[in-house]
Structure 1
Amino acid sequence: MSETSTAQTSPSGAGFEVRPVYLVAALAVVTVFAFFNGIENLFMRWGEQEELSHGYFLPVIAGWIIWSRRDALKGSLGKPVALGLAGVAVSAIVLVLSELTVTSLMIFQHLAMILLFSSLALALGGWRIFWLTLLPIGFMLFMVPPPYWVITILSQHFQLWSSQLGVWMIELLNIPVYLSGNIIDLGDYKLQVAEACSGLRYLFPFLSLGFLAAYLFHAPMWQRAVVFLSTIPITIVMNSFRIAVTGLLVQQFGPEHAEGFIHMFEGWVVFILCLALLFAVISLLARISGRKSIGELLGLPDVKPQPDGTQWDQKRFTLHALIALALLVAAGSYVHFATSNILRVPERSDLSGLPYEFEGWKSYVQEVDADTLNVLGADDYIITNLESPDNEAFNLYIAYLNMQRQGHSWHSPRQCIPGGGWQIAAHDYAEATLNDGDTFRYNRIIIENRGVRQLVYYWYDQRGRKLANEFVMKSFLILDAVNLRRTDGAMIRIMTPIARDELESDADARLTGFMRKLDPKLEPYIPGADAPATQEFDPND
């Protein structure tokens, strides 16, 4: 009697079988084992960066959405699809490669983990299960922390946009105000719109809330898209409003209103106002469609089972689950026990000795405070004003890193220049020919501030390569981390002022000449690809 019952509940028929729940539990454990470093990094980023602190809740919300579809999922089980195993294999390969680079580009692990979830849905439950779980699994993309350099770029842009709009709001009240970069000058007080005030603390959680609201909104797809995309302008406008209110309070009652509890309270008030505006957008769109009651606006979609005509096969399910387990165990074991996390760093001279290479030149080395040094994140650096015997003026900045890893890389001058009151008037790429005949591309920028102009060149000197593009630099970084076990290198920036009566071509000739004079002196300070590596570091320390 028991054998007959088993045959009825098992579509695959007789034979050795493992209960599906045990296989799913085993896959969950092995996934945590294989992606442990990536999961640990998620919790670290969520805890350290306030703009990402909402990440703790997003997997829970995704799980709730899947749970709300449980009846539809049960009725939509179909034949497990082998193509899902290809996705599992890709996830395992990306996991291994991300660890082999040693640069800890954890975003690849995070994305591979989400790809793994969708691939398992396809491999174990068929196409209908894949489509029914695609939205909640895709929602978890909002929990993935962007790379630090992406946050830096976004923060710079949002700082400037919010500052400009905030100053415009203050001017509407006929209050004299001047904006220089991200510094708001109110006369007696100057407010700096720091990264914490850029609006990213609102944007990242608000984007995920906007997506969730669009999902719950009973409306055509175009209206849902409007709800989601409206979160971006709402964030910018309300953050600018916050900056304007802060400026008014500072002018009327003192600078203490820009700090401490009051500043934090203003932030929470603005976030609540953001939510109110988002609901206003939803209500407006609902009225356009003729819906007025709250019950007609928001609620869980009624997801129906979607049988595809194929029968779920437990033997096929078991086979796919065991293959997926084998792939993840192999990848996880290689990551945790076979890969080397040791980076090699060559010996080199300290950059403090570089100004002495310019015989007969005057050098004025600039020291930076601890906070600025922490932002630079360099293992060695030099910022110096140089004056040639012909009274030509230059500024030289070099930042050197022993190794690049998560959160420990260069800040592009294009990200940092606007915050200091300078505006980028022009940017392009140019090609230089050095004294030895070698050529390379570099970034050429003209910056302006209240009529003062400067010409800026910068490039990345990376283990024997001189590169202008950050994305190309990152690509070679991954290759060299695998092949050379090295990720050291430098960012070099040189500047010269452009006089009011001077042509840009004259400044170019002067700065190009300085570049050619500088290049032969750099080898002891920035080792090339063939330099012997005598030091070793663990990037996890």
Structure 2
Amino acid sequence: MSAFLSFISVVAAWTVLYWDSFPPLLNRWNTEDYSYCWLVVPLAIYTAWQRKELLPADSHPAAKSGYFVLLMAGVFFFLGKASAVDALVFGSMWLCVLAVILFIYGWQSMKAFFFPLMVLAFAIPPPPFINNMLTFKLRLISSDLSVRIMQFIDIPVYREGNVIDLGMIQLHVVDACSGLRYVFPTVLLGILMAYWFNHRTWQRLVVVLATVPTAIATNALRIAIVGYIARNISVETAENFFHDASGILIYLLSVVMLVGLSMFLNIFGGKVAGGDMPRRTYGAPAACNSPMHLVVMAVVLACMFFGYQSVLSGRVIPERTAFDSFPMSFSDYEGKREYFNDDIVKSLGADDYLSGVFMDKTSGRNILALISYYNYQEPQRAAHNPVSCLLGGGGWDLTTSVDLAPDPEAGRPFQVRRLILQRPGQRLLALYWFQQRGRTVTNEYLNKIYLALDSIQKQRTDGALVRLELVLDDGETVEDGQKILDRFISNFNSLLAPYVPE
């Protein structure tokens, strides 16, 4: 009975600690990209039940390892909360599950629990900027392959980055309508299929490694089918297929291909019943013989909760001037303010923003300026690396990303990150930096570290992301464009103090 009560106490403390983290986690699960996560927990429980015979009959808790994992869970929790990275908080949840297993069964149980824990890790959605950068590269490969398929079947097509131009229709291969949103569930499916249907280690490895190429190839086929429909049936039918039914159909095709690969490996690779090594049955799982460790864990989780409430729950929001009063005419620049629609404002997650196009009267060039400001930052509403936004559409491809040292003589006394993007016939020079709580940084990870430190020391997480863009003229060098933006920064940045508090 004491073991049962100690386990209940851990579950209760775990639930209270992560209570405010469940809504953002479930919100991510409710998106189309991560809807498969709803199946992950039941699958992890089912695979654990399948492997229950591998549990040792005589368990010995791994107390030292359990407390170390619990310590890491606490570190991940506080770092995630302080730096507004919810993936770290979700990872902390997973580490707590591992700690409970170690406290009850010890390392001897990892033969049974390793695979279920690996499956359970798929319930953690990766940070959006990592997901965007990963899938962008895959989209480019998929787009190029689809163009080659259409050219092979004599369909005229032109590609600019991730934009497929068929003349009568343009296809933007972005996450919102891309079969590549099924990459993660396809990888998970491949892991499960390899575990259930293949028994040699090398066969399982082949199936898992084939998942990403399969997702790329089937998505390229999907785009080629859309091109064929647009050319031979109707544009309307092609658009409906592209945005509605094609994603799930292509996912089913990926499933069929992986099943076929698995069967082929079993037939021609030599199926061995029971796996590479005979499975050993250890008998019924033993009861927890050290409930005290679970009681201590419950107390630690409770202390983490009260520590979070006392250290990180308070917010200091400094006074500032709203961007509505920002001067659109200054020095040699004449600007025109732009406003986003509600959907873009919601996705931006900012409390205030400035978007405008400023004409440089000296050079006659237009400079796009965008500042997103946050009174406080938390997961799902924080300044982030804008690369994924710049690459999200319009056919741009990133060619260069470098940090530029401060150049006081040019009027820019701080470091900026310079991006060079291009598409056929055009080049774009973009600069950005994080201007937050008196610091100017360009590295997103360093920015998260400062965010965590200031959250603990100052209870401040306010800050802004500043982004400037200039379309380069034909024959214009990057350095010439940089001089234009540096001159703009020297005038523009001096106006920001009332709007972005130090």
Same fold (TM over 0.5): yes
Root mean square deviation of aligned Cα: 3.0
Matched, 1:318 2:291: yes
Q: SS where residue 321 of structure 1 aligns?
A: helix
Aligned to 2:59, which of 78, 102, 108? 78
Q: Secondary structure at the match of 1:304?
A: coil
Q: 2:468 aligns with which of 470, 490, 494?
A: 494
Deviation of the 1:144 alpha carbon: 0.7
User: Normalising by the residue count of structure 1, what TM-score does the alignment of the two structures yield?
Assistant: 0.83
2:24 corresponds to which of 41, 46, 53? 41
The equivalent of 2:229 in structure 1 is 249
- Greater alpha carbon shift after TM alignment, 241-250 vs 146-155: 146-155
Determine which of 296, 299, 302 is the counterpart of 1:329. 302
Contact in 1 for aligned 2:84/2:382 (Cα 8 Å): no
- Aligned partner of 1:15 in structure 2 is none
Q: Alpha carbons of 1:404 and 1:162: their partners in 2 closer, same or farther (altered >3 Å)?
A: farther
Comparing 136-145 and 152-161, the one that deviates more:
152-161
- State whether residues 214 and 228 of structure 1, in contact with CA within 8 Å, keep that contact through their aligned partners in structure 2: yes
Q: In the alignment, is the contact (CA less than 8 A) between 1:429 and 1:441 conserved in 2?
A: yes
After superposition, the C-alpha distances for 1:180-219 in whole angstroms (9 at most, x for unaligned) are 2332221122222232223343112111111111222433
Q: Tell me the TM-score normalised to structure 2 length.
A: 0.89
Deviations 1:357-388 (A, max 9, x none): 51353223333334433333333222322233
Aligned CA distance change for structure 1 residues 463 and 276 (closer, same or farther; 3 Å): same
Query: Does the C-alpha gap of structure 1 residues 501 and 401 become closer, same or farther in structure 2, counting only changes over 3 Å?
Result: same
SS at match of 1:457: strand
- CA drift of 1:74 comes to 5.0
| CA contact 1:85–1:119 (8 Å) conserved in 2 | yes
Matches within 5 A, 1:208-247: 208-247=188-227
Q: What is the CA deviation profile of residues 140-183 of structure 1, one whole-angstrom value per residue up to 9, with x for unaligned ones?
A: 10111112222332343333333222222222211111122332
Question: Which residue in 2 is equivalent to 1:138?
Answer: 118
For 1:20, the equivalent position in structure 2 comes to 3
Of 408, 422, 425, the match for 1:451: 425
Aligned-partner SS, 2:415:
strand
Q: 1:79-122 CA distances to partner (integer Å, 9 max, x unpaired)?
A: 22221441353155236515752x55332222122222222222
The answer for the alignment partner of 2:134 in structure 1 is 154
2:178–2:247: 8 Å Cα contact kept in structure 1?
Answer: no
Q: 1:306 to 1:357 in 2, by over 3 A?
A: farther
Could you say if the C-alpha distance between residues 372 and 300 of structure 1 is closer, same or farther in structure 2, counting changes exceeding 3 Å?
farther
Q: Distance in 1 between matches of 2:242 and 2:143?
A: 19
Structure 1: 5+ residue stretches without partners = 1-17, 529-541
Written as runs of structure 1 = structure 2, the 5 A alignment for 1:216-365 is: 216-259=196-239, 263-291=243-271, 303-305=279-281, 317-335=290-308, 338=310, 341-356=313-328, 358-365=330-337
Moved more, 354-363 or 470-479: 354-363
Equivalent residue runs for 1:110-125 within 5 Å: 110-125=90-105
Query: For 1:37-79, what per-residue CA distance to the aligned partner results, in whole angstroms no more than 9, with x for missing partners?
Result: 33443323212x112111122111111122122233152x322
How many angstroms apart in 1 are the aligned matches of 2:81 and 2:175?
A: 33
Question: Which among 74, 78, 90 is matched to residue 93 of structure 1?
Answer: 74
Q: Distance in 2 between matches of 1:269 and 1:504?
A: 45
Counterpart contact for 1:91–1:113, Cα < 8 Å:
no
In structure 2, the residue matched to 1:63 is 45
Aligned pair in 2 of structure 1 residues 522, 273: CA closer, same or farther (>3 Å)? same
Deviation sequence 1:111-139 (CA, Å, 0-9, x none): 12222222222222232124421221222
Q: CA deviation at 1:464?
A: 1.0
Task: Specify every segment of 5 or more residues in structure 2 that has no aligned partner in the other structure, as ranges.
Answer: none
Q: Hey, what does 1:417 align to over in structure 2?
A: 390
- Quote how far apart the aligned CAs of 1:407 are: 1.8
Runs of 4+ residues deviating >4 angstroms: 258-263, 296-302, 311-314, 337-340, 435-439
CA distance in 1 between partners of 2:314 and 2:410 (Å)? 34
1:405 matched residue in structure 2:
378
The question of whether the paired residues in 2 share the 8 Å contact of 1:80 and 1:126 is answered with yes
Moved more, 162-171 or 226-235: 162-171
Instruction: Assess if the C-alpha contact under 8 Å between 1:83 and 1:123 holds in 2.
Output: no
Judge which range, 58-67 or 372-381, deviates more.
Answer: 372-381
Aligned amino acid, residue 162 of structure 2: N
Whether the 8 Å contact between 2:434 and 2:464 is mirrored in structure 1 is: yes
CA distance in 2, matches of 1:31, 1:217: 35
CA positional deviation for 1:333:
4.7
Please give the alpha-carbon distance, in whole angstroms, between the structure 2 residues aligned to 1:423 and 1:174: 26
Between the aligned partners of 2:238 and 2:33, the Cα distance in structure 1 is 19
SS in 2 for 1:420: coil
SS at match of 2:432: strand
Q: Displacement of 1:36 after TM fit? A: 2.5
Give, in angstroms, the shift of residue 465 of structure 1.
0.9
d(CA) in 2 for partners of 1:318, 1:423: 56
Partners of 2:250 and 2:303 lie apart in 1 by 49
Contact 2:412/2:490, CA 8 A, preserved across alignment: no
Contact 2:410 2:483 in 1 (8 A): no
The structure with more radius of gyration: 1
